[in-house]
Structure 1
């Protein structure tokens, strides 16, 4: 089975509850959304076909057992992910998704799923199904200083906790830090268990790929 792969790299997870853990990232090509703040536009329409064995040969060189399928939007390749995880089941698999498509073939093969809903493209049915059928799940929102809609969605989904990640647009390091502090201060009085995690990969590596 063949899939288009943007990049495969070994790094640490910089987001969500698994932050800091070593992991192998498989970034698949293609996405069903066009987010204005996307920092992986190079993965939206790339063409780099690889078969499952070629991918396994590459990931087997790295000293890690956690594999993260990311994108783009990896659930577009639901069949491939299910095939790969069943064939190479000596790894723990994780998914990063925008929550607009339900991966019915692979859903029960992921140890953990991070859902990052985009407020202009909410699919409540899919989000509720992900919550219902995932083995382990968390929600991560990329937010600006007005996060009313994100809080409303948390209420509608019955979420008591989430990660908020201040969005990095055309910020300098100084302006991004100040924005993050303002968001922290606004969240102090919010009755939810919300973790604030800055976009660590941008702070450490800037716009560099494969990190």
Structure 2
């Protein structure tokens, strides 16, 4: 397979680990972390990906991914869609036969993402400090194989997320994940709220942080 030489991306890291989130949690996965993000969420744990990284040709990225012989590949950031060539990368990964997921903050248009990609859309809560950046039109581009994530900083975020779920019928659209912000909301407390309110959501704790803490590259 050949690639246009102008198709390059700025990459923070490419690594092999266990998927720590989404319905694919626990599965061995190659992560391609792109550099750059237009958002500055209060709980961000990948600020090192805002700048730096190295420019890599698409062919070199594909070669490095292939060296791990994975089944699953996740494109993440930063905000991967901040680089227009991310769409080429996603398509190339799908064409190569991988099961591909995209982790996006939801502030940028997802309509151009290859339909084969599992989009994991992070709806920003008030506690994130970036709630005004949500691009609500993205919801119409989600299918049953996609997922919506809320990172919750406290009960106010939880109540806000419940209201958004109801207004947009999110649980009827695709899987919904509720994740407690590390150090701000106890997972057990969030679990009790979900059970109390009988919400049709998946409680998500970050497996990679339980295993390796906040160490980069996991």
**TM over 0.5, shorter chain:** yes
Aligned length: 199
Equivalent pair of 2:176/2:201 in contact (CA under 8 Å) = yes
Aligned to 1:141: 150
Which whole-Å CA distance do the structure 1 matches of 2:90 and 2:201 have between them? 31
Kept after mapping to 2: 8 A contact 1:142/1:164: yes
1:99-124 CA distance string (max 9 Å, x none)? 111133324241x1111111223221
> TM-score, normalization: structure 2?
0.84
What is the TM-score with the length of structure 1 in the denominator? Answer: 0.86
What is the 5 A alignment of 1:159-178? 159-160=170-171, 161-169=175-183
RMSD across aligned C-alpha pairs, in angstroms?
A: 1.8
The match for 1:83 among 88, 109, 113 is 88
Task: Give 1:135 deviation, angstroms.
Answer: 6.4
Give the equivalent residue in structure 1 for 2:3: none
Distance in 2 (CA, whole Å) between partners of 1:82 and 1:25 is 16
Which string of whole-angstrom CA distances, capped at 9 and with x for unpartnered residues, describes residues 44-66 of structure 1? Answer: 12241111111112111103121
Instruction: Show structure 2 runs of 5+ residues with no match.
Output: 1-6, 126-130
Query: Which of 13, 22, 29 is the matching residue for 1:7?
Result: 13
Aligned twin of 1:122:
134
Contact 2:103–2:119, Cα closer than 8 Å, also in 1: yes
Q: Deviations over 1:156-180 (max 9, x none)?
A: 22112521111113x7xxxx7xx21
Whether 2:8 is the aligned partner of 1:30: answer no
* Distance change >3 Å, CA 183–CA 7, structure 1 → 2: same
Unaligned runs of 5+ in 1: none
Residue deviations 1:57-115 (CA, integer Å, cap 9, x gap): 211110312111100111112x42332344451222211111111133324241x1111
